[in-house]
Amino acid sequence: MITIRDIRVIATQPTRWPLVVVKVETSEPDLYGVGCATYTQRYTAVVSAIEEHLKPALVGRDVSRIEDTWQQAMVNGYWRNGPVVNNAVSGVDMALWDILGKRAGLPLYELFGGKCREAAAVYVHCNGRDKEEVLEQVRERMEEGYHYTRVQMGGYGGLVSGDRKPEGAVDGVYYDPRAYCRNMLDMMTYVREQVGEEQELLHDVHERLSPIDAVAFAKDVEALKLFFLEDILAPEDNAWFEKVRAVCATAISMGELFVHPLEWRPLVENRWIDFVRMHISTIGGITPARRAAEFCEAYGVRTAWHGPGDVSPVGHAANLHLDLWAPNFGIQEWCGFDELVYEMFPGLPEVRGGYMYPNDSPGLGIDIDESLAAKHPAKPEVIEWTQTRLPDGTPARP
């Protein structure tokens, strides 16, 4: 029997975001696995949960009992389904799947049942200061072979709107939801007219609208035939998806903030959304993500896993293995990484011509250069972009 000998946490920051990678070492020399536990905004809490709670409970356990380990780790702290615990469990879960693939000498997608496709189509981000700059970026991505582009203008919520603040209003990232709706509709209409309908366009609302404005916005953009409209509502407003579906046929994706299966299951069962896009480490890893994909397949809902820069390269590798296997794969978000990240994470999937390709190494097919990671340590900081406010200073969801 091969057992867990040690669990180590590597917190590194090669780019803008702190990343958390877990390394599970085994009783067999040179056999280890890596997993993603990246919850950027509270990464130190995840590190503590792993080092002080999960590690003492899991050292000595059989590495082959992945499901048993996941079930026990999720309930060992009694309170469950929160982003800190879920990410901590995910780091170990992914690493155990990585170890299983290495022991079998097979890429992880082979253990899931094999590939349904040779590569995963990806979408990339285009964010300009005005609609002309957005169009320029879209055309550049099209020339690079990307068929799917997410169009934003001025960041989430649009350009900062701080000129209407009342006297004495506190600092923050201000935006005007109503102006956002008008400006984004104008921008997307402009881009669609310029690139035609062959190029697939996406847009992320990022929960910045009130429910009734979200319903109206989804109806307004219907004519633009978006590939999907992302996170149009906050998880707390899930019941409003029924209203959205009733008034328009705009394709809807949802889920990067979900941490509990009862958040996404009603949306799937009622066919109120078209794509699920959870942050895989934040729902607990590969084990629950596979179950979610299989559940969604029965209802015709496709996957579009969260894949920005604050998903570690290990998390992106896990996304890809699920993408290659799932019969109901839809699209994969891709942020792109620079040479430093590729050097730090050998085996990081490559994207060519709008598709992400696996390297066919056993397990997840990715590793981490710990000496290089140590030269770029993660740094705790106060998160500013989530300090969002409405024009009158009211705190708003980011």
265 CB burial (10 A radius; 0-12, 13-18, 19+):
middle
Query: Would you call 316 a catalytic residue per the annotation?
Result: no
Strand order in the sheet with 32-36: 4-12, 19-26, 32-36
Catalytic residue among 156, 174, 175, 180: 156
Concatenated DSSP letters of 159-215? S---TTPPTTPPP-EE--HHHHHHHHHHHHHHHHHHH-SSSEEEEE-TT-S-HHHHH
Residue 78: count of CB within 10 angstroms of its CB: 5
Spell out the residues 6+ positions from residue 90 whose beta carbon is closer than 8 angstroms to its own.
35, 36, 37, 280, 281, 282, 283, 284, 285, 286
Angle separating helix axes 286-297 and 313-325, nearest 10 degrees: 30
Query: Would you call 147 a catalytic residue per the annotation?
Result: no
Q: What span, in angstroms and rounded, lies between the C-alpha atoms of 252 and 350?
A: 28
Catalytic residue among 203, 206, 316, 321: 206
Name the token pair of 72. Answer: 């026990």
Q: What span, in angstroms and rounded, lies between the C-alpha atoms of 121 and 225?
A: 19
Spell out the residues 6+ positions from residue 319 whose beta carbon is closer than 8 angstroms to its own.
120, 280, 305, 307, 311, 332
Q: Which residues are catalytic?
A: 156, 206
